[in-house]
Structure 1
């Protein structure tokens, strides 16, 4: 049991990093395909990812040393089906006529190991049916494929990392894992009655033309990811630092918003910039919007970061003044955060740079 707890603990440590990597693609897919971000479905998807991490780690951990594996003489494979039944008959203490043996029989490895292999893929079958809407034969095939992947991972010595397999490739595991997935399919059928219906995502699209802060933030993240990648490549060739970023900002954000009403990120999540009447904004409105948003907010962050860096080498006599400046800038950033929170939870509130520039964002047709 302690081994299983250790594996789950390891998966819990790794999960936030994987979740961070997949969040942006998840947001893009949901906004492109469904026009919304249903919280229940996102919850299911992240729990599925966590389950898959746990299942994979359970098949490979704990990792032995290479020298230990090199000296192993245990079998590497079992191609004889239903060996687990033979082992149960030979080694399990169960006796129908002696109730005292029943508890011991359930605790024996000949019961625990097959049961574990069934339980390992039972959630997989559940997710396939309830979340991914797979039918029973697709669930069987995908469960078998997952089990085969696990078994080949073990047979290959973790893809050649070890000189030989340190765990057994077992045809019984393939059968039990596949059955576990199939069992999970039927569990999902009954469980679906107790939880929110798995409605088609398209039916959950927002009826309003307004755009949530999360959706706008996704567009922003895409735009600056593109700018950062291009700037890094250019700076590697020609070291221009902030000049490259400034030029890319002008081209990939301001120019595109003026001419197309959309940056690349906005186009990906299906939103566009409009004026207060829902029409194309003027060039001056776009420029004012960008100066207020990127210039004021981004500039405040940059200046605060600069003063924070100065605390490492500034004379002691200047530290009090620097601390006061940092505190004042933090208060300004707090006001920006409050403005964002009001936008998030109030239907009537608009972000300050949108209000002052006379612009807004709307869902594209």
Structure 2
């Protein structure tokens, strides 16, 4: 039981790390496809990532020591499970607790979430769930059969074609269960909202700020490349472990954000959630520079300052949140500094909607049709 808890914690930890790494792309896709990001869909997406890592954790881990493994056999008879179930038949309680029956049930249940997520997040039905379930199961079984692709001299777990069948059945069952979710929540209807302007809320601005903050931190990952170059190419361990790579990495991220805002008037967070800043009595280049400095660029510069730079950056984040929550439309420090307001990027500067023709098409798609 302790081992299962450890594997579950590992799946949650890795899933959370993957969710953070993919958060900005997920927000971008959500706003382009659905026009918004809902808390429910975000939770389902996180659950799908945890589930993905849980599959690999529970089917391949823990990896045994090569000196202690016992080579496992194979089952190539696709109907062997029928004989196993027949042999387990008896009183209901004894049948349900029989290892062979439990193994079949667990193989089905393990892949039910896969079919569920495929329909809910990917808007794909039973055929896709069956194909994906079969392919994922085949990769897992083949990985076991080959001893993790040659890492071990032989397979340490049994390759079983019955597992392929039961896993595929589980994915199909998950897809059927997902049908119970209302169609509009599964993304089946045409998402006219994706191309229609929406009210700019403070929550939306906070989401843009989060995307910018994560983006700057991940863009600073060039630090890893700098450290690797210093350590493995120049063989300068002292420089590789010093502060210079970190400083250069963060400054590079700040430079990217500054050039992006100066060139387009929008940060990564603005692009992700479809926002833009409009109007100012300042010259546009100056307004954009002030916006950048009062936003992600300012945060990054404070992060590389000598002590107490980190404390200053934390204070900057706190003040930014407070100002965002207390200013109209959540324009925050960037809007205050540049004397600009924030608006939906799908609205033209003259106030006209950017995509009226698409709106009319969407209304046609979702308008109830009169019987012929």
TM-score, length basis structure 2: 0.73
1:138 aligns with 2:138: no
Q: Which residue of 2 aligns with 1:202?
A: 191
Alpha-carbon offset, residue 105 of structure 1:
2.2
1:179 aligns with 2:172: no
Assess, with a 3 A threshold, how the Cα gap between structure 1 residues 68 and 202 changes in structure 2: closer, same or farther. same
Q: Answer whether contact 1:83 1:172 (CA < 8 A) is retained.
A: yes
Q: Which residue of 2 aligns with 1:354?
A: 335
Q: What is the count of residue pairs matched by the alignment? A: 329
Q: Which residue of 2 aligns with 1:51?
A: 51
Assess, with a 3 A threshold, how the Cα gap between structure 1 residues 6 and 103 changes in structure 2: closer, same or farther. farther
Assess, with a 3 A threshold, how the Cα gap between structure 1 residues 335 and 9 changes in structure 2: closer, same or farther. closer
Assess, with a 3 A threshold, how the Cα gap between structure 1 residues 33 and 215 changes in structure 2: closer, same or farther. farther
Alpha-carbon offset, residue 53 of structure 1:
1.4
Q: Which residue of 2 aligns with 1:168?
A: 158
Q: Which residue of 2 aligns with 1:314?
A: none
Alpha-carbon offset, residue 233 of structure 1:
5.8
Q: Aligned partners of 2:296, 2:85: CA distance in 1, in Å?
A: 68
Q: Answer whether contact 1:129 1:185 (CA < 8 A) is retained.
A: yes
Q: What SS is found at the alignment partner of 1:134?
A: coil
Alpha-carbon offset, residue 336 of structure 1:
5.2
Alpha-carbon offset, residue 57 of structure 1:
1.4
Q: Answer whether contact 1:223 1:264 (CA < 8 A) is retained.
A: no
Identify which of 76, 79, 89 aligns with 1:79. Answer: 76
- Structure 2: which 5+ runs fail to align? 347-372
Q: Answer whether contact 1:261 1:272 (CA < 8 A) is retained.
A: yes
Query: What's the CA shift string for 1:37-70, capped at 9, x where partnerless?
Result: 222111111111111211221211232211122x
Q: Answer whether contact 2:321 2:332 (CA < 8 A) is retained.
A: yes
Q: What SS is found at the alignment partner of 1:272?
A: strand
Q: Aligned partners of 2:300, 2:132: CA distance in 1, in Å?
A: 47
Q: Aligned partners of 2:214, 2:315: CA distance in 1, in Å?
A: 21
Q: Which residue of 2 aligns with 1:322?
A: none
Query: What's the CA shift string for 1:112-148, capped at 9, x where partnerless?
Result: 1111111111111222223322122222111111211
Q: Aligned partners of 1:204, 1:245: CA distance in 2, in Å?
A: 36
Q: Aligned ranges for residues 2-81 of structure 1 at < 5 Å?
A: 4-69=4-69, 72-75=70-73, 77-81=74-78
Q: Which residue of 2 aligns with 1:222?
A: 215
Assess, with a 3 A threshold, how the Cα gap between structure 1 residues 183 and 18 changes in structure 2: closer, same or farther. same
Q: Which residue of 1 aligns with 2:358?
A: none
Q: Aligned partners of 1:111, 1:352: CA distance in 2, in Å?
A: 61
Q: Which residue of 2 aligns with 1:125?
A: 115
Q: Aligned partners of 2:156, 2:294: CA distance in 1, in Å?
A: 60
Larger Rg: 1
Q: Answer whether contact 2:216 2:296 (CA < 8 A) is retained.
A: no
Q: Aligned partners of 1:12, 1:231: CA distance in 2, in Å?
A: 25
Q: Answer whether contact 1:254 1:290 (CA < 8 A) is retained.
A: yes
- Structure 1: which 5+ runs fail to align? 96-100, 310-325
Task: Name whichever of 333-342 and 47-56 sits farther off.
Answer: 333-342
Q: Aligned partners of 1:46, 1:248: CA distance in 2, in Å?
A: 27
Q: Answer whether contact 1:144 1:178 (CA < 8 A) is retained.
A: yes
Q: What SS is found at the alignment partner of 2:68?
A: helix
Q: Aligned partners of 1:5, 1:248: CA distance in 2, in Å?
A: 39
Task: Name whichever of 53-62 and 212-221 sits farther off.
Answer: 212-221
Q: Answer whether contact 2:275 2:344 (CA < 8 A) is retained.
A: yes
Query: What's the CA shift string for 1:307-340, capped at 9, x where partnerless?
Result: 489xxxxxxxxxxxxxxxx7xx58xx54751441
Identify which of 286, 289, 301 aligns with 1:287. Answer: 289
Query: What's the CA shift string for 1:177-221, capped at 9, x where partnerless?
Result: 11111122222223x15x983245834546125652212442454
Q: Aligned partners of 2:283, 2:304: CA distance in 1, in Å?
A: 28
Q: Aligned partners of 1:207, 1:149: CA distance in 2, in Å?
A: 43
Alpha-carbon offset, residue 73 of structure 1:
4.6
Q: What SS is found at the alignment partner of 1:362?
A: strand
Q: Aligned partners of 1:264, 1:26: CA distance in 2, in Å?
A: 13
CA RMSD of aligned residues (A): 3.8
Q: Aligned partners of 2:287, 2:253: CA distance in 1, in Å?
A: 19
